[in-house]
Chains A and B, each alone.
Chain A
Amino acid sequence: MNNILNILEKLGASARSSLSGLGSCARLFLLTMIYSSDSFKRFNLTIKEIYFTGVLSLVIIIVSAFFVGMVLGLQGYYTLEKYGSSEAIGVLVALALVRELGPVVTALLFAGRAGTAITAEIGLMKTTEQLSAMEMMAVSPIARIVAPRFWAGMISMPILATIFSMVGILGGYFIAVLIIGVDDGAFWSQMQANVDFHNDIVDGAIKSIVFGFACTLIALYQGLVAPPTAEGVSRATTKTVVISSLSVLGLDFVLTSFMFV
Chain B
Amino acid sequence: MDENLISINNLSFGYGKELLHKDINMQFNRGKVSAIMGGSGCGKTTILRLIGGQLKPNSGNVTVDGKVVHEQGREGLRNIRRKMGMLFQHGALFTDLSVYENVAFPMREHTDLPENVIKDLVLLKLNAVGLRGAHKKMPAELSGGMARRVALARAISLDPDIIMYDEPFAGLDPISMAVICDLIRSLNDALGATSIIVTHDVAETFSFADYIYFLADGGVAAEGSPKQLLASKLPFVKQFIHSEKDGPVPFHAEAPSYQSDLSL
Which of A's residues lie within 8 Å of B, judged by CB? 128-130, 132-139, 144
Contact = CB atoms under 8 A, between A and B. Distances in A.
A68 B151 CA distance: 49
Nearest to B74: A140
Contacts of A134: 94
A32 B81 CA distance: 21
Question: 7 nearest interchain CB pairs?
Answer: A138-B81, A133-B92, A129-B92, A136-B86, A138-B78, A129-B88, A138-B82
Interface in B45-91: 49, 52, 54, 77-79, 81-82, 84, 86, 88-90
Interface string B100-129: 000001100110000000000000000000
A138 B78 CA distance: 5
Contacts of B86: 133, 136
Interface in B147-174: 151
Contacts of A139: 105-106, 109
The main secondary structure of chain A at its interface with chain B is helix
A230 B89 CA distance: 18
A128 B77 CA distance: 23
Contact of A136 (B54, B79, B90): B54
Contacts, number: 44
A45 to B, nearest CB: 11
Contacts of B78: 138
Contacts of B105: 137, 139
Nearest to A136: B86
A136 B109 contact: no
B109 A132 contact: no
23 contacts: A128-B95, A129-B88, A129-B89, A130-B93, A132-B54, A132-B92, A133-B86, A134-B94, A135-B52, A135-B54, A136-B52, A136-B81, A136-B84, A137-B81, A138-B78, A138-B79, A138-B82, A138-B109, A138-B110, A139-B105, A139-B106, A139-B109, A144-B109
Nearest to B84: A136
Contact of A128 (B49, B52, B79, B92): B92
Given A132-B49, A136-B54, 9 more contacts: A128-B95, A129-B89, A129-B92, A130-B92, A130-B93, A130-B94, A134-B94, A138-B78, A138-B79
Contacts of B89: 129
Contacts of B106: 137, 139
A132 B92 CA distance: 8
Given A128-B95, A138-B110, A139-B109, A133 B88 contact: yes
B163 to A, nearest CB: 11
A258 B49 CA distance: 49
A139 B94 CA distance: 13
B9 to A, nearest CB: 22
Contacts of B90: 128-129
Nearest to B78: A138
A68 to B, nearest CB: 34
Contacts of B110: 138
Nearest to B79: A138
Query: Which residue of B78, B84, B92 has the most chain A CB atoms within 10 A of its CB atom?
Result: B92
A128 B81 CA distance: 20
B175 to A, nearest CB: 25
B244 to A, nearest CB: 32
Query: Which residue of B89, B93, B151 has the most chain A CB atoms within 10 A of its CB atom?
Result: B93
Contacts of A132: 49, 54, 88, 92
B22 to A, nearest CB: 25
Contacts of A137: 81, 105-106, 109
Contacts of B84: 136
B52 to A, nearest CB: 5
Given A137-B105, A137-B106, A137-B109, A130 B95 contact: yes
Query: Which residue of A130, A137, A144 has the most chain B CB atoms within 10 A of its CB atom?
Result: A137
B195 to A, nearest CB: 15
B62 to A, nearest CB: 14
A137 B95 CA distance: 16
Contacts of B109: 137-139, 144
Nearest to B96: A121
A134 B108 CA distance: 13
A134 B154 CA distance: 11
A139 B92 CA distance: 14
A233 to B, nearest CB: 14
Contacts of A144: 109
Contacts of A133: 86, 88, 92, 94, 151
B157 to A, nearest CB: 9
A137 B86 CA distance: 8
B69 to A, nearest CB: 12
A48 to B, nearest CB: 9
B211 to A, nearest CB: 23
